[in-house]
Every structure is written in structure tokens, then in C-alpha cells.
Amino acid sequence: MYAFGREPVGYQTIAARRRDLLSRAVPVRRLITIALLGLVMTGCAGDAAQPEILKEGRSIYGDTCSVCHGNRGQGGVGPSLDNIVETFPDCRDQIEWVALGSEAWKAEVGGTYGANGTPVTGVMPGHRDLLTAEQIAAVSAFERTAYAEVDQDEALADCGLAE
């Protein structure tokens, strides 16, 4: 009786089985390669279609905002940004919030923010001394397009960046 109930197989038989398996795997590998290439090309094309001002906003977000709001706007120390348009239907209000931060907002605007009158309780830093008005508008437009899925042209117009 042989181990596992099988007769021993010679090296030539093993090599033939291996070639057979590999020949069946090649089309699968080609499909995977084509699919991955398609994803890469789509990602590159999507980035190329993005206006420069939104690319700048994305860069500022990554350098400045992602520490608190997460690398994908999912939240962390700061809230998630997926409902930013519900909080600030008018981008100008969002821009003012980002510029002032929570403490200056309380002092200059009042104790609540956003369309729902949310009490100011967090510690959102103000960015008016760190970023230009255009950079704050750019990051606000980026957040609206990337995390709230607002149309690029609509976000740029609403944030005062339309050409």
C-alpha cells in the first residue's frame, strides 16, 4: 500500500501536471494584469481631470486637515466630513469656519455653527494665519467633492473658485 492510497508518480508526470496547471493560470494572470492596469489608468485619468485648485486643496488637506479628520475624511479627533454639505450648505460658511476655528468662531459669530445650529464644543484650530483665503477655499472645495460627493463645478462655484 502506498502513502495516501496512491501509486508513486514519476518526476516526468509531476512536470507535465505542473505545465498543465501553469498553462491554465496564464489567462487568469493576464486578466488580473489587465484589470489592475485598467484601475491604474482610471485613477490617473481621474486625477488628470481634476482642476489644479482641487489638487492644491487635496495637498493642503493631506498636510493640514487629515491629522484630525482622517486621511479619507472619515473622522478621528475631528468629525467625519461626509456630511459637510449638510453642516455647511453654503461653502462660504465652511470657509469662515475653517479660517476662524472654534474659539474665534465663538467670539466673532456665536456659540453654534452650521445649518443645524450645532454647539461649538470641539477644538478646531483656525487657519487664517496659516493659509491664504484661496487655499482655505481650495481645501473646502476639495472636502466637498471628495467626501460629500458634490460635483466639481458646483463646489468650485459655491466656494468662489470658478473661473
End-to-end CA distance of the chain: 83
pTM: 0.70
Closest C-alpha among 56, 86, 97 to residue 150: 86
CA separation for the pair 56, 62 (Å, rounded): 10
| pLDDT value, residue 50 | 86
List pLDDT tens digits, range 37-96.
555 444 444 455 789 999 999 999 999 999 999 999 999 999 999 999 999 999 999 999
| pLDDT value, residue 122 | 82
| pLDDT value, residue 44 | 45
Predicted confidence (pLDDT) at residue 154 exceeds the cutoff of 80: yes
SS3 112: strand
CA separation for the pair 84, 87 (Å, rounded): 5
| pLDDT value, residue 159 | 97
Task: Tell me if 155 sits within 8 A of 124, measured CB to CB.
Answer: no
Task: Tell me if 96 sits within 8 A of 109, measured CB to CB.
Answer: yes
Q: Compute the average pLDDT of residues 22-40.
A: 58
